[in-house]
Amino acid sequence: MAESTSPGQPNPTPRDGEILAPEPALIAAERGGSTPGGIRDEQLIVRESPAFLRTVLSLFAAGFSTFALLYSVQPMMPVFAHAFHLKAAASSLVLSVSTAGLAFGLLFVGPISDGVGRKNVMVLSLLGATACMLASVASPTWGLVLVLRALLGVCLSGFVAVAMTYLSEEIHPKDLGFAMGLYIGGNGLGGMLGRLIAGVLVDFLSWRVTLAILGALTGCVTLIFWRIVPASRHFRPVRHNAGSLVRGFSVHLRDSALRLLFLEGFLLMGGFVTLFNYVTYRLLSPPYDLSQAAVGCMPAVYFGGIYSSARMGALADRYGRRRVLWVIICVMIGGLLITLADPLWALLAGMVFFSAGFFGAHSVASSWVGRRALTARGQASSLYLLSYYVGGSVAGTAGGVFWHSDGWPGVVVFIGGILAVSLLVSLRLIQIPPLEAALARARS
């Protein structure tokens, strides 16, 4: 076993199969995203290599597929409300139960992937979600639609939980923020085009035909992903039992920085889902009175977020996550306030800034979790994403109360309160020292 380093000394380079001592492992985990111990930097994928492009493109495509399935129902909420005689808050359950199912599955699939491998879990996850999407097309009742959407969320958790861990294990630490940003950009593009395609098609076709088309397209993307995703070279099987799972979760929850990052994910997703759930109703109402097809095009504002996720990830690699995260959240708040203006162009501009801030903040926070987690990294990703999607489920439905009582200004007040807490969390994260500094003080 490698010896512990003392302050000011360089970290030892582990030999193949060697496990770092606890303190160097902590420092290595804070500095980079690879599994602590045993993996040399030159074994990891760097941005200049052909393998980097293949890895990022495969995860980009799968992230696209995942979030197209998940969010395609969002612009269709008014259609579901009309077809099944529902109120806005009730129709929002079609998305909320999916994100709740996804959050529930995250408790288990991360540890499962630690034992059976990353690629196997991701492929089976995508195939199961596609099957649930196609089955929902034949659902005769609203209750069955919700059950299948919840199962779809559980299936998608297998990909969502594992993808970030896969990148953290395979990509060199210096390029992890950029790679994670591109992956999240694929998520954003899938969410955008899933909403856009569904929103336009449902104006001309029934909701059942629309979901069938999206399910078939996602099945094709899943097969492509299965063919091109590189095998995991640095995965090391770890068998979990109930005790090890509890210990793994407790290790992460004892880290104050990780606890704050989990809370940050809850708040960011809660604000984002709430805005896009209810802006649809606003645009369909006076003074805009837009068609369903026009409203379906609104997710085009995600283009700003797709750029922002990669750009902010690279800036975080360069300047540090502590210096970048709070600034991006301020961009979200500014965009939210702009949406209070009546002109359509101002509303759209506010949505662009809000989306760019959200995707940038999520990129920074999620890659920070990958760098901060010391062991059981699948569980760390699961906890972050569990918080993230629970936030979307809870706030996304709760926002309906503010919409019914006070309209769009009420929704803005609700989201503004969420983002104010998110900003405070980001400022608190600045005060928590990096692991290396904390260990140096502990040794002195």
- Which residues does residue 45 pair with via DSSP β-bridges, in sequence order? 171
Which amino acid makes up residue 112?
Answer: I
Residues 153 and 200 in one domain: yes
pLDDT digits (tens, 9 = 90+) for 180-230: 777 877 877 787 788 888 888 888 889 999 999 989 988 888 888 888 877
Res. 273: pLDDT tops 60: yes
Q: Which of 204, 237, 270 is the last residue of a domain?
A: 237
Q: Which two tokens stand for residue 117?
A: 């491998």
Residue 42: the pLDDT is 55
Cα torsion angle, 319, 325, 328, 330, sign: negative
Residues 57 and 172 in one domain: yes
Q: Which of 186, 211, 237 is the last residue of a domain?
A: 237
CA distances from 391 to 60, 199, 269 (A): 24, 24, 6
Write a three-state SS string for the chain. CCCCCCCCCCCCCCCCCCCCCHHHHHHHHHHCCCCCCCCCHHHCECCCCHHHHHHHHHHHHHHHHHHHHHHCCHHHHHHHHHHHCCCHHHHCHHHHHHHHHHHHHHHHHHHHHHHHCHHHHHHHHHHHHHHHHHHHCCCCCHHHHHHHHHHHHHHHHHHHHHHHHHHHHHECHHHHHHHHHHHHHHHHHHHHHHHHHHHHHCCCCCHHHHHHHHHHHHHHHHHHHHHHCCCCCCCCCCCCCHHHHHHHHHHHHHCHHHHHHHHHHHHHHHHHHHHHHHHHHHHHCCCCCCCHHHHHCHHHHHHHHHHHHHHHHHHHHHHCHHHHHHHHHHHHHHHHHHCCCCCHHHHHHHHHHHHHHHHHHHHHHHHHHHHHCCCCHHHHHHHHHHHHHHHHHHHHHHHHHHHHHHHHHHHHHHHHHHHHHHHHHHHHHHHCCCHHHHHHHHHC
Angle made by CA atoms 52, 53, 59, in degrees to the nearest 5: 90
Cβ atoms 332, 161 nearer than 8 A: no
Residue among 72, 75, 71 at smallest CA distance from 281: 75
Which residues 6+ apart lie within 8 Å of 92 measured at CB? Answer: 77, 277, 396, 397, 399, 400
Residues 74 and 189 in one domain: yes
Residue among 309, 434, 303, 433 at smallest CA distance from 365: 309
Which residues 6+ apart lie within 8 Å of 241 measured at CB? Answer: none
Residues 211 and 290 in one domain: no
pLDDT digits (tens, 9 = 90+) for 103-151: 888 777 767 776 677 888 888 899 999 999 999 998 989 999 999 999 9
Which residues 6+ apart lie within 8 Å of 293 measured at CB? Answer: 199, 200, 203, 204
Q: How many CA atoms lie within 13 A of 159 on its CB side?
A: 32
- Which residues does residue 136 pair with via DSSP β-bridges, in sequence order? none
Q: Which two tokens stand for residue 223?
A: 């097969």
Q: Which two tokens stand for residue 148?
A: 């299948």
Cα torsion angle, 228, 180, 133, 293, sign: negative
In a domain? residue 14: no
* Rounded percentage of the chain residues whose pLDDT exceeds 90: 27
Total domains in the chain come to 2
User: What average pLDDT does the chain have?
Assistant: 79
Which amino acid makes up residue 375?
Answer: T
pLDDT digits (tens, 9 = 90+) for 8-48: 334 444 443 333 333 333 333 333 333 344 445 556 777 77
In a domain? residue 363: yes
In a domain? residue 403: yes
Q: Which residue has the higher pLDDT, 281 or 145?
A: 145
Residues 263 and 323 in one domain: yes
Place 292 in a pLDDT band, splitting at 50, 70 and 90: confident
Residues 64 and 113 in one domain: yes
Residue 295 belongs to domain with CATH number: 1.20.1250.20
Q: Which two tokens stand for residue 185?
A: 């950009």
The two most distant CA atoms of the chain are separated, in Å, by: 69
In a domain? residue 37: no
Q: Which two tokens stand for residue 146?
A: 């919700």
Residue 244: the pLDDT is 67
In a domain? residue 41: no
Residues 400 and 252 in one domain: yes
Q: Which residue has the higher pLDDT, 153 or 22?
A: 153
Residues 341 and 438 in one domain: yes
Residues 206 and 258 in one domain: no
Tell me the C-alpha distance between 70 and 168, whole Å: 24
Res. 245: pLDDT tops 80: no
Q: Where in the sequence is the domain holding 166, given as residue range(s)?
A: 48-237
Residues 211 and 303 in one domain: no
The backbone torsions φ and ψ at residue 45, rounded to the nearest 5 degrees and listed phi first, read -80, 125
Tell me the C-alpha distance between 11 and 26, whole Å: 11
Residue 440: the pLDDT is 53
Q: Which of 237, 271, 286 is the last residue of a domain?
A: 237
Tell me the C-alpha distance between 444 and 441, whole Å: 5
Place 166 in a pLDDT band, splitting at 50, 70 and 90: confident
Residues 404 and 270 in one domain: yes
In a domain? residue 359: yes
Residues 168 and 283 in one domain: no
In a domain? residue 16: no
Place 371 in a pLDDT band, splitting at 50, 70 and 90: confident
Residue 236: the pLDDT is 66
Residue 34: the pLDDT is 35
In a domain? residue 38: no
